[in-house]
Amino acid sequence: MQIIAKDNHYVVVGLGLTGLSCARYLASQNIPFSVVDSRMQPPGLAQLQKELPDVTISLGAISDEALANANELIISPGVSLAEPAIQRAIDAGVAYCGDIDLFRRVVKAPIIAITGSNGKSTVTALVGEMAIAAGKKVAVGGNIGVPALDLLSEPEPDLYVLELSSFQLERTQPLNAEVATVLNISADHMDRYSDIAAYHRAKHRIFFGCQQVVVNCSDTLSKPLVHDEVKQWHFGLGQPDFKGFGLIKEDGQEFLAFQFEKLMPVTELKIVGRHNIENALAALALGHAAGLPFAAMLSALRDFSGLAHRCQFVTSIAGVKYYNDSKATNVGAALAAIEGLEASVEKIILIAGGEGKGASFDDLLAPVQRACRAVVVIGAEAETLSRLLSPAVNVVKAVTMAEAVATAKTLAKEGDAVLLAPACASFDMYNNYQQRGDDFCTAVTSLKNKSVH
R_g of the chain computed on alpha carbons: 23
φ/ψ of residue 227, rounded to 5: -65, 155
Sheet strand arrangement including 372-377: 312-317, 320-324, 417-420, 348-352, 372-377, 394-397
Catalytic pick among 118, 136, 184, 189:
189
Strand, helix or coil for residue 373:
strand
**Separation between Cα atoms, residue 200 and residue 216, nearest integer Å:** 14
Residues paired with residue 372 on neighbouring β-strands, in sequence order: 348
> Residue 261 carries which side chain, given as an amino acid letter?
E
- 184 is a catalytic site residue: no
Strand, helix or coil for residue 96:
strand
Which of 326, 352, 422 lies closest to 121, judged by CA?
326
Host H or E run for residue 101 = helix 99-106
Locate all alpha helices (DSSP H) within 325-364, ordered by sequence. 331-341
What string of DSSP letters covers 377-389? E-STTHHHHHHHH
> Residue 226 carries which side chain, given as an amino acid letter?
V
- 223 is a catalytic site residue: no
Locate all alpha helices (DSSP H) within 290-432, ordered by sequence. 294-303, 331-341, 365-371, 382-389, 401-411
- 394 is a catalytic site residue: no
Catalytic pick among 118, 136, 143, 409:
143
Report how far apart the first and last C-alpha atoms of the chain are (Å, whole number).
62
Pairing verdict, β 111-115 and 159-163: parallel
Strand, helix or coil for residue 71:
coil
Strands (E), 196-269: 212-216, 231-235, 244-250, 253-258, 261-265
Contact between 10 and 70 (Cβ < 8 Å): yes
Residues paired with residue 163 on neighbouring β-strands, in sequence order: 114, 142
- Active site (catalytic) residues: 120, 143, 189
